[in-house]
């Protein structure tokens, strides 16, 4: 089968809590910076989750991970998608695979027996809609090329890699090998920067991957500035033009800017009351990749991406119901 999109990413189950300002201040006790992604061990994550549950804070549980959210969005908008990842043979792993398949995303490998648990991400949403994530990769740290469906990369229009993969040595190796396969078979490559902390910690590794092949970069403004090691958006823009023929920089409610290989892209945002920014970038990327799969321009994809992202931030959690994706598509097109 030919795919529009083949994704490699971390398989996570998201535990999302809406916290108040008092608990937000409590994050400093755990040395967790607000608004970023922090890798955390299983025990500390369990302590935080149990603490939040004990406070009777409502919990939303969903299949997640940046690459997963992007791929599910592209799939529900109408693209043919495949996800390569790894989960353990535990309740969370089974939950993840069932959710993936229910969203019409193909997956090749069954859960594996391991001493490591499936990955989880604790997402805490502040009153200002900022999200703070504490991720335990679990078995994701063992991801290898044995878990990657190489044939789908060869038969896809786009290979999509989430930046979080570079957080483990094995993840970097998987990205490198996947990029070489894509390059050999003329599969276009899109990479998401994912998080400024990832950029700052693994800048050298990310640059080495981009040098193999990259046709489209997704990042937000903070990630772009971190990558370019500058406080000037113009300087970051110039560096990205030298790095990839196409890129899009999201700017929250202000929309996005980018470059399509010939012309600058400047898309205004949509005014909405943001409740939760978690998943906005993933939704944006999924919407753009869907449009590209339909032969639309990058600029038109960015317009739809901004519209779709404005819908997910009005909702708690990184994803919407299947009906909402249909509604977004019908109302826009």
DSSP 120-138: EEEEEE-TTS-EEEEEE-G
Grade residue 234 by pLDDT with cuts at 50, 70 and 90.
very high
CA-to-CA distance for 21 and 173, rounded, in angstroms? 40
pLDDT beyond 80 at 275: no
For residues 31-42, average pLDDT? 87
For residues 214-224, average pLDDT? 97
pTM of the predicted model as reported, rounded to 2 decimal places: 0.92
Closest CA to 45 of 121, 108, 111, 98: 121
Q: Which CATH superfamily is domain 3-10+66-90+103-108+140-332 in?
A: Ribokinase (3.40.1190.20)
For residues 87-98, average pLDDT? 94
Please name the helix (run of DSSP H) or strand (run of DSSP E) that holds residue 286, with its range, or none: helix 280-293
Q: Does residue 301 or residue 129 have the better pLDDT?
A: 301
What pLDDT score does 109 carry? 85
Grade residue 130 by pLDDT with cuts at 50, 70 and 90.
confident
Contact 95, 47 (CB under 8 A): no
Question: How far apart, in Å, are the Cα atoms of 218 and each of 28, 47, 150?
Answer: 30, 33, 23
If 0-12 CB within 10 Å is exposed, 13-18 middle and 19+ buried, where does residue 241 land?
Answer: middle
Closest CA to 160 of 182, 177, 138, 135: 182
What pLDDT score does 88 carry? 96
For residues 254-263, average pLDDT? 96
Q: Which two tokens stand for residue 290?
A: 């869907």
For residues 11-30, average pLDDT? 86
Grade residue 222 by pLDDT with cuts at 50, 70 and 90.
very high
For residues 168-192, average pLDDT? 96
pLDDT beyond 90 at 62: no
What pLDDT score does 29 carry? 79
For residues 136-143, average pLDDT? 93
What pLDDT score does 276 carry? 61
For residues 232-260, average pLDDT? 96
Task: Return mean pLDDT, the chain.
Answer: 93
For residues 59-65, average pLDDT? 86
What percent of the chain clears pLDDT 70, i.e. is strictly above it?
98
For residues 275-287, average pLDDT? 85
What pLDDT score does 320 carry? 85
pLDDT beyond 90 at 316: no
What pLDDT score does 22 carry? 84
Domains in the chain: boundaries: 3-10+66-90+103-108+140-332
Closest CA to 37 of 122, 126, 160: 122
What pLDDT score does 114 carry? 93
What pLDDT score does 288 carry? 98
For residues 121-144, average pLDDT? 90
């Amino acid at each position: 089968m030919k795919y529009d999109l083949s994704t490699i990413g971390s398989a996570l189950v998201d535990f999302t809590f809406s916290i108040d300002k008092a608990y937000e201040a409590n994050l400093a006790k755990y040395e967790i910076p607000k608004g970023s992604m922090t890798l955390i061990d299983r025990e500390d994550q369990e302590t935080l989750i149990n603490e939040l549950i004990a406070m009777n804070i409502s919990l939303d549980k969903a299949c997640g991970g940046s690459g997963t959210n992007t791929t599910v969005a592209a799939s529900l908008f109408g693209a043919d998608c495949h996800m390569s990842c790894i989960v353990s043979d535990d309740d969370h792993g089974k939950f993840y695979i069932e959710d993936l398949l229910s969203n019409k995303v193909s997956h090749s490998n069954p859960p594996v027996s391991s001493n490591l648990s499936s990955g989880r991400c604790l997402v805490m949403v502040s009153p200002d809609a900022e999200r703070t994530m504490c991720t335990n990769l679990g078995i994701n740290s063992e991801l290898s090329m044995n878990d990657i469906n190489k044939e789908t990369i060869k038969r896809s229009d786009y290979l999509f890699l989430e930046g979080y993969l570079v957080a483990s040595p094995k993840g970097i190796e998987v990205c490198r090998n996947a990029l070489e396969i894509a390059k050999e078979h003329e599969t276009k490559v899109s990479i998401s920067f994912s998080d400024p902390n990832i950029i700052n910690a693994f800048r050298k590794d990310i640059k080495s991957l981009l040098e193999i092949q990259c046709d489209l970069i997704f990042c937000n403004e903070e990630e772009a500035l971190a990558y370019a090691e500058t406080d000037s958006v113009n300087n970051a823009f110039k560096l990205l033009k030298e790095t990839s023929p196409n890129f899009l920089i999201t700017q929250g409610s202000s929309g996005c800017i980018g470059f399509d290989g010939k012309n600058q892209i400047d898309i205004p945002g949509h005014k909405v009351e943001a409740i939760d920014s978690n998943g906005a970038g993933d939704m944006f990327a999924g919407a753009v990749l869907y449009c590209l799969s339909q032969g639309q321009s990058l600029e038109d994809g960015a317009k739809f991406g901004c519209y779709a992202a404005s819908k997910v931030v009005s909702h708690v959690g990184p994803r919407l119901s299947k009906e909402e994706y249909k509604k977004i598509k019908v109302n826009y097109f």
